Amino acid sequence: MTLTINDLKAKRQFADKTFRIATLLGGATILVILALIAYTVAHRSTDAFRLAGFKFFTGKRYVPNASPPVFGALSFIYGTAISSLIAIIIAIPISLGLALFTTQVAPSWLKRPLVALTDLVAVVPSVVFGLWGVIFLAPKIVSVYKNISNWCHGIPVLSTIFGKTGAGRTFMTAGLILAVMITPIITSIAREVIETCPQTDRDGALALGATRWEMITGAVLPHSIGGIVGAVMLGLGRAMGETIAAALVIGSSAAITANVFSSGDSLPSVIASQWGEADDNGKSALIAMGLTLFLMTLVVNFLATAIVSRSTKRMQGAS
């Protein structure tokens, strides 16, 4: 059998097309998986939503083995919000300081070690931070909490936020551990955004007589604020979804209180800790909490991605 030029051409085109379709399928699995996540998780949640109704989002009580079971997830939603909020408040100054020091202050030989330091924090598995938090940090930090609580005694607002405590596993401890865990992600995005600030802007500020800090506030930060906000929101999304570290240090007792030194519970942590004992309805309720968490992080990440991509587009246009 002899092959003509046209046969060869057809064969080549066939191979090319097959390859194209194969890579397309590889990419399309992402869409398929996301669709499946949304569908299957929502589908399995219906039992819990049918039993609890809208009370699922407004009820504070969660008693899975009562009959009928009571599924109120509000205190867990609150715990997720408050612990990630604490984490963000602590992580913002540290991440920004780290990113600015690395890009604007550090001599060039120090830059690579500083980047490596940040990456190293990201490599430590979350369960290890959790282990350290529960066995090492929590027992030691109780006295710190007690001191802060005593200082704030009698001062309005502060005495509510930093109230009475006797526990090491609290919203605050969870917030601290989460802050350490999200610092690398905020730092590395903030660093990338800051580095897109044109050298001419920085030189211009310095030439006008600005100190380094004035150069940062006058030229670097206005330029990169959009990207930094996006980075912080990505960090927030990560903090909300982080399970194991929070599950170990948050204290596992449902509570809605403004006192950050109180034990509480969050959505991911209650899913992980109650899974073993849950019956079918209980599992459905926990999956429904997973769905709630999924939607919460989806909204936050959605906004974050939009903000980051808009600000990078604008910056590319500017330079």
Q: Which is nearer to another protein, 237 or 259 (CB)?
A: 237
Q: Per CB under 8 A, does 1 bind another protein?
A: no
Q: Per CB under 8 A, does 105 bind another protein?
A: yes
Which of 219, 265, 225 lies closest to 78 in space, CA to CA? 265
**DSSP state, 62?**
E
Residues 249 and 136: beta-carbon distance below 8 Å: no
Q: Which of 83, 84, 281, 297 binds another protein (CB under 8 A)?
A: 297
Q: Which of 120, 144, 207, 225 binds another protein (CB under 8 A)?
A: 120
Q: Which is nearer to another protein, 125 or 166 (CB)?
A: 125
State residue 251 phi and psi, 5-degree precision.
Answer: 105, -15
Least Cβ distance, residue 260 to another protein (angstroms): 19
Cα gap 186→179, rounded to integer Å: 10
Q: Per CB under 8 A, does 258 bind another protein?
A: no
Please report, as residue ranges, which positions from 144 to 183 form the binding site for another protein (by CB under 8 A). 180, 183
Interface segment toward another protein; rule CB under 8 A; list 39-47, 66-74, 158-166, 255-263: 39-47
Q: Per CB under 8 A, does 119 bind another protein?
A: yes
Least Cβ distance, residue 147 to another protein (angstroms): 20
* Cα dihedral value 240, 244, 246, 250, nearest 10: 140
Least Cβ distance, residue 294 to another protein (angstroms): 5
Output the CA angle 280-283-289, nearest 5 degrees: 145
Q: Per CB under 8 A, does 118 bind another protein?
A: yes
Residues 40 and 277: beta-carbon distance below 8 Å: no
Output the CA angle 80-287-268, nearest 5 degrees: 25
Q: Which is nearer to another protein, 262 or 292 (CB)?
A: 292
